[in-house]
Amino acid sequence: MVESDPNAWSLEDTLRVLIASDIHLGHLENDAIRGEDSFIAFEEVLSLAVQYDVDLVLLGGDLFDQAKPTPSCMFKCTEIIRKYCFGDKPVGVELLSDQLENFARVVNYEDPNLNVSYPILSIHGNHDDPVGQGSISSLDILSITGLVNYFGKWTDYTHVRISPVLLQKGSTRLALYGLSHLKDQRLSRLFAEKKVEMERPDETLDWFNLLVLHQNRADRGPGNYISEEVLPKFLDLVVWGHEHDCHLYGMKGNKRENDSFSVIQPGSTVATSLAAGEALPKHCGLLQIHKGDYSVKPLPLQTVRPFIFKTIVISEENLGDEGVNENEKIQEFLKERVNQAIEEASKMRSGHEKQPELPLIRLSVFYERESQDFNRMRFGQNFNGLVANPNDLLVMKREKKVREKKERAPDEEADMTGVAAAAADVESLLRSYYEAQPRDKRLSVLSVRIVTEAVREFTLKHNDEALRRAFDAHKRRCIAALMDSTAETEEEIVERLRTCKQELDAADDDQLHTLVDTSVRPAAPAAQLIVPVVKLSAPLAKRTIVVVLGATRGSHNSPGVWRTTPVNNLLFGAKDNAFIFFIKNTCFH
């Protein structure tokens, strides 16, 4: 019988792995107060690897906060890794699988030009995934320099076939599967279509099967998360990155007894949003594997900035009757609650010399009437020097906002305050914004899907070309749709463009990228760019689209000049066998 007590396991046969995820190096690095938080926490994680003398460090994605980290961020990351992971201590883990297939280079601790004592293995997350020319990730840079062993990178999004990293220490064999971040909708469909395969090693040998992935675990709508039910049952343990709330408990297990895998969710090491889940205590974990048995020991992080999150419902507080001083009364009440939170945060201090002093405080306040609202920024100035986030201490939300949204007249302007506070991500915020607009202010030509995808690429990955590429691709799609149609009148043109928009909004991820190619390429030869609008001396020989960008005034009805009609933000024109549309006040040019 295999021993289940880790203290009885022989060191020669026990594989020790330090597990962490969502480090987000560089988060708010320009903030004078919080700029060093991510680096301090990362340094503590690697110092724990040294303290517990692990065999390797396993990261679950989002090592960096941006796809293109700043030189300063990359320098600090390199400095920390070299300080804690390089040295003369031999690594007692043997790599059995094809190194070039797993890592695209020799694993760093077997490189004769490097002295690595604590090797880091990492997948990428949604914040540090490959972008730009050549699809290079920040982890590719760390990999080629020998600082990190980067695995689980995919280029074929139609079929995922995962070849495990095979490691052995003594009589313990580990099959490590890495699944770097993919769009949740795409990956969930690939699982449904049985297009995600995990190669099994020699099944005559006893392997411990470990999967690390970076996806939504919480249910965020159909197809927008990965269910544990779709993961193969032969797995023994799953390390789940991306979710920032830490759910890491001490556990022992042996799959051969209960025939099901367990999930480790390390959470983030730094608070990247002032949400309730981020206020949970931060940890990394010590995973010990001995043949078919394993144990997980949570390691609390001592250098994390204290964070207190409170929810307050004004109507449930005994603040007296309504009156002319109601606003001031509420502010005084909230000041008292902030001071209580500061006192509570002071008790969370670990005593570590590198733990930041000023706490993070967030009060989520629900109010009933507009008269109860006030200037949050001015309120926060009362706590300068007392909290790390005086400018966003409060988030104010209206009670019963759902009922009010239903009762709102169709043409009434939407109040986006509550929607913005409740949005889980930038895509949800944009979709909610466009859905909440009156009908006459909704997008009629530009696809909401295109906009949200482009903004996501820009905000999360800091891809400066994302917006331009997306809008250029959408323009090419519109032109192609008009060229293929028989539309002649203004109504026919508007209807064709509306149909084109509906097709794009209804498409899934793969169909969207097929319909709208955002790769860099010259514009279609059928389109001519003319700025400003000029008189055309001769009729065009065939159906042609002329696109004029920029602001346009007036209409042109004189002979030989294009006749245009305004439709929303577009001016459409038709003459003989050609179309023209002017896009006003856009960022295409």
Residues serving a catalytic function are 127
Q: How far is CA 204 from CA 170, 200, 201, in A?
A: 17, 11, 9
- Of all helices (H) and strands (E), which one includes residue 300? strand 293-300
Contact 108, 116 (CB under 8 A): yes
Q: Which residues contact 175 (CB under 8 A, 6 or more apart)?
A: 164, 165, 166, 200, 201, 207, 208, 209, 210
Cα 281 to Cα 303: distance, rounded to the nearest angstrom: 11
In angstroms, the CA 403 to CA 408 distance is 9
Q: How distant, in Å, are the alpha carbons of 5, 58, 222, 289, 294 from that of 254?
A: 11, 21, 32, 10, 7
Q: Strand 56-59 and strand 94-95: pairing?
A: unpaired
Amino acid, single-letter form, for residue 228: E
Rounded Cα gap, residues 93 and 176, in angstroms: 13
Show Cβ contacts of residue 197 under 8 Å, excluding neighbours closer than 6 positions: 159, 160, 161, 162
Rounded Cα–Cα distance for residues 501 and 446 (Å): 6
What are residue 240's phi and psi, to 5 degrees? -105, 115
| C-beta separation of 379 from 334 below 8 A | yes
Packing angle, helices 490-506 and 466-484, rounded to 10: 130
Determine the Cα–Cα distance for residues 447 and 504; give it in Å rounded to an integer.
6
Three-state DSSP class for residue 245 = coil
**3-class SS of residue 490:** helix
Q: Kindly report the three-state secondary structure assignment for every residue of 66-133.
A: CCCCCHHHHHHHHHHHHHHHECCCCCCCEECCCHHHHHCCCCHHHCCCCCECCCEEECCCCCCCCECC
Please compute Rg for the chain using Cα positions: 28
- Kindly report the length of the chain: 589
The structure tokens listed for 275 are: 């949400």
What's the CA gap between 358 and 380, in Å, rounded?
14
Ranges assigned E (strand) in 180-292: 196-198, 208-214, 237-241, 251-254, 262-264, 283-290
